[in-house]
Structure 1
Amino acid sequence: MTLPALPNEHALAVLLLTGLALILFSRDRIPLETSSLLILAALTIGFELFPFAPDGTPLHAVIFFQGFGNEALIAVCALMIAGQGILRTGALEPVGRSLGRIWRTSPVLSLLLTLILGAFISAFINNVPVVVLFLPVLISVSLTTGKSATPILMPMGFSTLLGGTGTTIGTSTNLLVVSVAAEMGAHSFGMFDFLVPAVIAGGIGIAYLWLIAPRLLPEREIAISQSSPRVFTAHLAITESSPVNGEPLHKALALTHGRMEVSALERGEGKPIMLLPDAVLHPGDHLVVSDTPNNLKEFERILKGTLYPVGSEDEPVDDDHPLCDDDQQIAEIALFQNSPLVGTTLKQYGFTDRFCIIALAIHRSGHRYLRVVDELRNLRLKVGDILLVQGPRDKIAELKQSREFVVLDATMDLPYQRKAPVALVIMLGIIITAALGVLPIAVSAPAGALLMILTGCLSWRDATRALSAQVILIVVASLALGIAMLKTGAADYLGALFTALAGSASPAFVISGLMLLMAVLTNIISNNAAAVIGTPIAISIANRMGLPPEAFVLAVLFGANMSFATPMAYKTNLLVMNAGEYAFSDFVKVGVPLALLMWGTLSFLLPAYYL
């Protein structure tokens, strides 16, 4: 075996810097943003102080900033904003409710359906909002059925990672690999060009997550962290547009799948009627219900009723009609000893006129159910009462500055529910135009993100919050390293070294080895960093072997997506770890066999399909 000669000094320096990047990216104590900027600064300063001119033309360091304008980064950022639009409008909530309903009837088949749905949605939408959607659904099911959630949360999280490998927009890693490969002259992959091997390998992975993974995980009780565990009592008023207008009470209970508990029924202020399943509901009727804030707002949406007095939604509480404002929040306020609200009622105090905020419900310790006549606006308030209120974001912020009561740490944004269909249409437009080749994803995604904002699905505040400085900087730093490796010949050297070490091994063996290397790296450092560093090496190896580069590029893509073995390998792993209270060893126990299963399957599929 003859090893290749060492490359030039600049290539060696880039390789050393790449090794430093791998170390920095794996350190939890150093923010990824800091590490990325450090690498970027080292590259630019180094090439300016020590010019590199391989063909007589100096390589200007400004080339390393091209990542900020790279089409992959533009597409990634735009898709993050569009995904936030889906999350902000609650467009996927009907999917979550349907899953919750099915889980209560057939848990085993429901787990399979959850895994398949999670994988399918994640092929087109960033998997973070998918995991955020499914986590409370599965935790709620575990509470209802009395079974532990730990055997199902991790498989659900991993299924979204499997689904993300199916298309070019499934993950930022895919976009980066495809983009870098195209810049280096390789085949430009279409959205579904590698769908077949992804579906076959993903199907095997889903079967493992369905049948085996839950048995490897311990059943333990987890401390459920909710935005508010407090139970509030509210009057849910029926409106003209409600689907239960003119229908019996039992239909309202059926629409909420039996989760809504009604303690009393009132027709007109202070006029109770018999609480019977066949009692017909009319506009203006009040259902006295007690539940958490999330559930109360969900019941309000399902029944199209109001938690505030009927008619209030059309009456301005200030000049801007705050109840019609899309930027709504709910918050909890507690009354202390010297609060002016103690001993009086909200109506007498003029709470709505003073603060331009509507009170929805009340939590009173030791009194879960209030008398029917005790409508919230007429209830005499006591020390320790906690009010659930709703209003525009700026009014909630002003409320926090008030010294008349304490705003508790349970403020929550409300989804722009009526914009959900618009958000879904926009997301479908992004996907379809890119899939059909009408527009490249780097064009359709920003256009879709702009439409999300123009149609009110998303505010600019939400859009900027959706962007991740960590993702942006690590993508730019990784692209800069890739350019440096390519221009200095470092990538060619690594390709030659890899080929020399492989000896006379078959292309299938080389592809398998490259994918395994990426799988190991992605669980130690950022998957994007592993992918961008690995792509130039893959193309160099393919060129040296005189073979089409597609299989080698996809080995990098699939290997860099095998983020199963450690919790820090991908952000959804951290979400699942926190919710399920998993140990590091749990990820190793379930993730390593899954990574090996995917590696073995794809080691057979990629050479067979592309060589």
Structure 2
Amino acid sequence: MHMVTALLGVYRAEIGLVLLACVFVAFLRERYPASVVAVLGACAYAALGLIDEKGLFSVFANPAPLTVAAMLVLSGALIRTGTINRVADLIMTRAQRHPRLALAEVTVGIVIISCFLNNTPVVVLLIPIVFKLAQATSIPVKKLLIPMNAVAVMGGCITLIGTSTNLIVAGIAAEQGMEPIGIFAISPYGIAGTVAGIATLACLSFLLPSDEPSIGGENGGTVQDYLTELVVPHDSDLVGREIGSLSLFSRSVVLLGLKRAGEIRRGDLKEEELHAGDRLIVRADGAAIMTLRESGRFELGIAADSETSSHEGTVIEAMVAPSHPSTGERLMDIPFLHALRVRIIGMHRSRHLAGPDLGDARVRGADRLLIAGSDDAVRSLRDNPHLMGVDISRTRAFRRNKAWIAILSMAAVVTFAALNVISIGLAAFLAVGVILVTRCIDAEEAWSAIDGDVLVLIFAMLAVGLALEQAGSVALMVGWITPLLEVAPTWSLVFVIYFFALILSELLSNNAVAALMTPITIALARQLGVDPLPLVIALMIGASACFATPIGYQTNALVHAAGDYRFADFVRIGVPLNIVVGLAVCTTLVLLN
């Protein structure tokens, strides 16, 4: 034990680097999640005394991870209030009228939205839109998904709140004694990279495959569309109105037909007047169905008893087991519909929509049902051996009347931070308070919008970075690197930092690379007597603008699965894109500093 203590006293810095190498190897092997590896690394440093207790717990006072969490909640509020969904509807409306022009408009829109919202929810909502755009423009979807994802990532590099990586770097830089980085301080360099990147994508699109995905369907597997029916009540103010005058139809709610007196009509129904008891057969996603349910303007779905309302009770999701005795029979004849006071308000079938209407759709194993019923009925359904995964639906109705509050809250964060009235972190937390108290989003949903895995990774890597400083490992690395860079031109440092961060981030977590490299980059700049700000900005963008692998950025993995891409597809377009964007960003940094 005495020998171990002696070794730690003499070789603290070297042991810190050995542990860092072990953490990197563990990241690369991916035997454990990145967050678990980071926590174990922090524990190892603490156990060996390379970071003291005060230092270990001081990382939880860093405002950067908490700012990331607050921005994720604000993004969740914009989704919950239907703001992002409404933007998507406008895009699809434009795409139907001017498909080619819509591509350019979508590109610009993605850049703007990604400047202020987390990339992941933006790309999740973007995937089904891109599938629809591909149909409208007759451009293979595989030629659109990777470019649109790349544009979203590049847009996130334009402002400080565009990605969590930017906020992490800025937070650590402030703790290292640098002046706070403004929300638009990185904008000229991010814009330069984005313009160069979009031009590169336009020129090199021929490198992308043109075959159709073998999985995912028209939505890329990201949205569950349900078949449902909207029943016009006898006392409704909709009676006598033309179907085309209704504002409910959009990308999320598509009219498939009109059922009247047992007869289904298809085709153009815009001028058809609604009668009491009419059934509008529609395709809608879960959020749209829940929004229609809360509006109370229609009765939804089918029930054995006309007095059973879709507006009462709880909505659950259930999957039909392959062993269900009603397999092959009409949904209207499924036994629990007649035995319990429930109403089936939606039916989802993988790959395609059931039909011709909800009641006459033939039941298949793995069909997913949305069912509204009382608590007693829900308990009975949970005991049904022929239904699987019976649970309360997590899909929620949009709170569109609160959208203006969510929009103003996000705008206030950007404005106050840009004018240096208050810090980004404080502005974001105040905005979170506003959206919670005004019920733009419920507390449970707000906390679920926070990616706990990401926050744990960030806190743990902050501890690892601080341990490297306390152990002297950062100073040791800087001492090794300084002689090599002293003879190099000052401008070359920007390129070295950018591409080193880029290469590491293609293999490891962006946030982990940012947390590790920020203190090293600042120490190196001070040792060489140069301004650390351009190097820190190079690190920010280099750690995020990763396009060459499906694991280079979290959204890359999303489109990799949705578009059924191969690993080589990312490499083919991503490597030249990495180089061009990097050269544009670094050149702009050198010229403007």
- Structure 2 counterpart of 1:416: 398
- Structure 2 counterpart of 1:389: 370
Identity %: 24
- Structure 1 counterpart of 2:49: 47
Superposed, which structure 2 residues align to 1:37-436 within 5 Å?
37-47=39-49, 60-143=52-135, 147-209=139-201, 211-222=202-213, 223-224=215-216, 226=221, 232=227, 234-237=229-232, 247-252=241-246, 256=250, 260-264=254-258, 266=260, 277=269, 279=271, 281-282=273-274, 284=276, 286-291=278-283, 297=289, 305-308=297-300, 322=312, 336-337=324-325, 349=338, 351-352=340-341, 357-360=342-345, 368-369=355-356, 388-391=369-372, 398=379, 401-403=382-384, 406-407=387-388, 413-418=395-400, 419-436=402-419
Deviation at 1:60, TM superposition (A): 2.6
Distance, in Å, in 2 between the alignment partners of 1:127 and 1:495 is 33
CA deviations over 1:114-153 (Å, ceiling 9, x no partner): 2222221111111111001110111233346654211101
Specify the code of the residue in structure 1 equivalent to 2:551.
Answer: M
Residue 249 to residue 399, structure 1, CA distance change in 2 (3 Å): same
Deviation at 1:78, TM superposition (A): 1.7
Q: Give the stretch that moved more between structures: 387-396 or 64-73.
A: 387-396
- The 8 Å contact of residues 65 and 476 in structure 1, kept in 2 or not, is answered as no
**Matched residue SS, 1:123:** helix
Deviation at 1:532, TM superposition (A): 1.8
- The 8 Å contact of residues 348 and 368 in structure 2, kept in 1 or not, is answered as yes
Deviation at 1:299, TM superposition (A): 10
Structure 2: which 5+ runs fail to align?
1-8
CA deviations over 1:51-108 (Å, ceiling 9, x no partner): xxxxxxxx63331232223100111122222222223333201111122223334444
Residue 317 to residue 237, structure 1, CA distance change in 2 (3 Å): closer
**Matched residue SS, 2:29:** coil
Distance, in Å, in 2 between the alignment partners of 1:405 and 1:162 is 48
Residue 107 to residue 543, structure 1, CA distance change in 2 (3 Å): same
- Structure 1 counterpart of 2:20: 18
**RMSD of aligned residue pairs (Cα, Å):** 4.2
- The 8 Å contact of residues 329 and 396 in structure 1, kept in 2 or not, is answered as no
Residue 214 to residue 100, structure 1, CA distance change in 2 (3 Å): farther
Distance, in Å, in 2 between the alignment partners of 1:422 and 1:81 is 14
- Structure 1 counterpart of 2:433: 450
Distance, in Å, in 1 between the alignment partners of 2:532 and 2:247 is 59
Specify the code of the residue in structure 2 equivalent to 1:131.
Answer: V
Distance, in Å, in 2 between the alignment partners of 1:200 and 1:174 is 17
Residue 606 to residue 200, structure 1, CA distance change in 2 (3 Å): same
Residue 436 to residue 227, structure 1, CA distance change in 2 (3 Å): closer
Distance, in Å, in 2 between the alignment partners of 1:188 and 1:295 is 40
Residue 392 to residue 72, structure 1, CA distance change in 2 (3 Å): farther
CA deviations over 1:260-302 (Å, ceiling 9, x no partner): 4553354xx7799999857553574624325365597399599
Structure 1: which 5+ runs fail to align?
1-6, 49-58
Deviation at 1:478, TM superposition (A): 1.7
Deviation at 1:517, TM superposition (A): 0.8
Deviation at 1:177, TM superposition (A): 0.8
1:462 to 437, 445, 449: 445
TM (norm. structure 2) is 0.83
- The 8 Å contact of residues 264 and 275 in structure 1, kept in 2 or not, is answered as no
- The 8 Å contact of residues 26 and 526 in structure 1, kept in 2 or not, is answered as no
- The 8 Å contact of residues 256 and 299 in structure 1, kept in 2 or not, is answered as no
**Matched residue SS, 1:507:** coil
CA deviations over 1:303-343 (Å, ceiling 9, x no partner): 99525289xxxx9969xx747x8xx666565794389x999
1:593 to 568, 576, 589: 576
CA deviations over 1:468-509 (Å, ceiling 9, x no partner): 232122211221122223333332332333231124211111
Distance, in Å, in 1 between the alignment partners of 2:577 and 2:266 is 57
2:489 to 492, 506, 513: 506
Distance, in Å, in 1 between the alignment partners of 2:118 and 2:255 is 36
Distance, in Å, in 2 between the alignment partners of 1:476 and 1:571 is 18
- The 8 Å contact of residues 148 and 221 in structure 1, kept in 2 or not, is answered as yes
**Matched residue SS, 2:160:** coil
- Structure 1 counterpart of 2:6: none
**Matched residue SS, 2:300:** coil
Distance, in Å, in 1 between the alignment partners of 2:162 and 2:188 is 14
**Matched residue SS, 1:139:** helix
CA deviations over 1:510-550 (Å, ceiling 9, x no partner): 22111111111111111112112211222122212222211
Distance, in Å, in 1 between the alignment partners of 2:143 and 2:554 is 19
**Matched residue SS, 1:263:** strand
**Matched residue SS, 1:289:** strand
Distance, in Å, in 1 between the alignment partners of 2:420 and 2:519 is 26
Distance, in Å, in 1 between the alignment partners of 2:165 and 2:296 is 41
Residue 534 to residue 245, structure 1, CA distance change in 2 (3 Å): farther
**Matched residue SS, 2:258:** strand
TM (norm. structure 1) is 0.81
**Matched residue SS, 1:569:** coil
Distance, in Å, in 2 between the alignment partners of 1:584 and 1:121 is 28
Superposed, which structure 2 residues align to 1:466-481 within 5 Å?
466-481=449-464
2:476 to 472, 493, 496: 493
Distance, in Å, in 2 between the alignment partners of 1:32 and 1:548 is 32
